[in-house]
Structure 1
Amino acid sequence: MNSGAGGTETRQPALWTPGRVARLLGVSPITLRSWDARYGIGPSVRVQGRQRRYSDSDVARLRRMRQLIDEGVRTREAALAVRGSAGGALAPGSGLELEEATEELRLATMATALDESLAAEGAASTWQNVAAPVLRSLGTRWERGEECFAIEWGLAAEISAALNRHTYARGPARTVGSVLLAPCPGEHHVLPLEVLRAALAERGVAAVFTGAPAGRVMTLDLADRLDPAAVLLWAMTTATADTGLAGTLAARGRTVYLAGPGWNPATTELTVVNDLDSALDVLPLNDRSAGDL
């Protein structure tokens, strides 16, 4: 068919949606976005009123990059190879690096990314800017009906392990006079407590974490035996917020703080903290935790 004055047809280049490219390459759209953000290997065509599209040449580069990765080339080197550049160094321990490794369940890479971020930025920043955003992204996908249990488990496990390494690298934990961090009975979402313990360790504050699940009897017994400077009770939901346990601890003379979205400040006289910074502000800074090991 002819068109235009010259009698020749102008062929429009093929445009690929991110979803179609992801299926072609056998990766997730999240991985495509991370490659674009980190390496500049992304869609080059802007369509008015719509998201960017991949051209045939964009797809060819990505297919070559995927081939190199399958052959054992690291993602960064594969990206640099298809770009034809030796530059473009990547920031270690970034959220994008963690997201990409999580998507492909590369546990060793996840551990390295977390360790590097913790060493460079500390526990609070690593949690807020690197780990938690990836967890929230997985939570959103789960709510949409996507099956991502395996990678969510892998990420949570590696975050916990990295926080433990970071905490214990700062010396042995003290017990007497420490801060006791305890989830309420039935509470299994305890990563925020592990983050808090690591952040306290960075400040030289001794903290004992009970782990999960922690029953009422065990928490009360630990409080009696360890004589902590403070007890922080964590509840993710109203269903697990145990006001009875909090009241018993307070009645026994313990300084008690309540943390997590499960607590309602209007229904308690105890101090409720809703974020990491607030918890670090109110907890004792080693007044009593500098004693014997």
Structure 2
Amino acid sequence: MRSTEIGGGSVIMPATTISGLVHAAANLDTDAVSGAVRTSIASYGVTRTWEWLVSPAWHAVRDSRHDTDVSERLFTRAVAQVLMTVRSPLDRLPVLVLMACTPRERHVLPLEAFAAALAEVGAGSCVLGTRVPSPAVVAATRRLLPAVTVIWSQTGDTADPRQIRTLLTACPGVEVIAAGPGWGDAALPAVTVSAALKLTLVRISTGGGHTSGPITTTDHEGITT
């Protein structure tokens, strides 16, 4: 079992719940995956559901001996649809956080979770999706004028520092977070480097936006993978 603090008390997330979610994905049972995630969000919220249920189940699905491509596709789609339902009431709000995957990154689910977590604190966001080329990120940043632009990389193979440099050059003054475990020791300009996304969530939920200048930090809590 795994436990986390919720409202000052400890809540246990049974390993059987995680294994049940993995089993549902292996059986291509979309309704079971969606139902479990929806129920957990109603009880514990998006961030805790991601950290303690969805993320470990997602890793297990990807590591399982089943037809992982099909199972992972179904799992990702089912979870993303639930997360987008959480976000939908805020679709017309100004975009405070713009998110995109690097040009070679196909794992967008952590960004969908982060967008839903932002929605829970009343912050609007926009997720551009997977494999987003640099010109598209620049164009969206210029058009939407977000407080923060987040670029996600899941693995070192997909981290592309050139995209960060291009964005900073084309949009001077923009706050950029190079998010995800893929960035690792990548040679980046002075931007926020975060293994997780709690840093942005806290900043937005407390009314923050742009910082006084670029910073470099590593945050290991919140929306991780």
TM-score (norm 1): 0.59
- Structure 2 letter corresponding to 1:174: L
Aligned length: 193
**Within the alignment, does 1:136 sit opposite 2:59 as a pair?**
yes
Structure 1 segments (4+ residues) deviating >6 Å: none
Q: Are residues 231 and 276 of structure 1, via their aligned partners in 2, closer, same or farther at CA, if it must alter by over 3 Å?
A: closer
Deviations, residues 183-217 of structure 1 (Å, cap 9, x unaligned): 11121111111111011111111111111221111
Q: Larger Cα Rg: Structure 1 or Structure 2?
A: 1
1:68-107 equivalence runs, <5 A? 94-107=17-30
User: What is residue 115 of structure 2 aligned with on the other side?
Assistant: 197
- Structure 1 letter corresponding to 2:163: L
Bigger strand share:
2
**Within the alignment, does 1:259 sit opposite 2:182 as a pair?**
no
Q: Which has the higher contact order (CA 8 A, sep 6+)?
A: 2
User: What is residue 191 of structure 2 aligned with on the other side?
Assistant: 270
**Within the alignment, does 1:182 sit opposite 2:89 as a pair?**
no
Deviations, residues 134-191 of structure 1 (Å, cap 9, x unaligned): 221122225xxx53332222111101111111211x433423x521111111211111
- Structure 1 letter corresponding to 2:111: L
CA apart distance, 1:263: 1.2
Q: Is the 1:265–1:272 contact (alpha carbons within 8 Å) kept by the matching residues of 2?
A: no
CA apart distance, 1:96: 4.1
**Within the alignment, does 1:111 sit opposite 2:34 as a pair?**
yes
1:1-293 equivalence runs, <5 A? 94-142=17-65, 146-168=66-88, 170-175=89-94, 177-251=95-169, 252=171, 253-265=173-185, 267-268=187-188, 269-282=190-203, 285-287=206-208
TM-score (norm 2): 0.76
Structure 1: gaps of 5 or more residues:
1-36, 38-90, 289-293
Q: Is the 1:205–1:286 contact (alpha carbons within 8 Å) kept by the matching residues of 2?
A: no
**Distance in 1 between the 2:167 and 2:72 partners?**
34
Q: Is the 1:115–1:166 contact (alpha carbons within 8 Å) kept by the matching residues of 2?
A: no
**Distance in 1 between the 2:202 and 2:194 partners?**
9
- Structure 2 letter corresponding to 1:154: L
Q: Is the 2:161–2:186 contact (alpha carbons within 8 Å) kept by the matching residues of 1?
A: no
- Structure 2 letter corresponding to 1:225: R
Q: Is the 2:137–2:167 contact (alpha carbons within 8 Å) kept by the matching residues of 1?
A: no
CA apart distance, 1:103: 3.0
**Distance in 1 between the 2:151 and 2:165 partners?**
11
Deviations, residues 100-145 of structure 1 (Å, cap 9, x unaligned): 3223222112211111111111111111111122221122225xxx
**Distance in 1 between the 2:139 and 2:44 partners?**
36
**Distance in 2 between the 1:171 and 1:278 partners?**
21
**Distance in 1 between the 2:184 and 2:60 partners?**
27
C-alpha RMSD of the superposition: 2.5
CA apart distance, 1:282: 4.7
Q: Is the 1:238–1:263 contact (alpha carbons within 8 Å) kept by the matching residues of 2?
A: yes
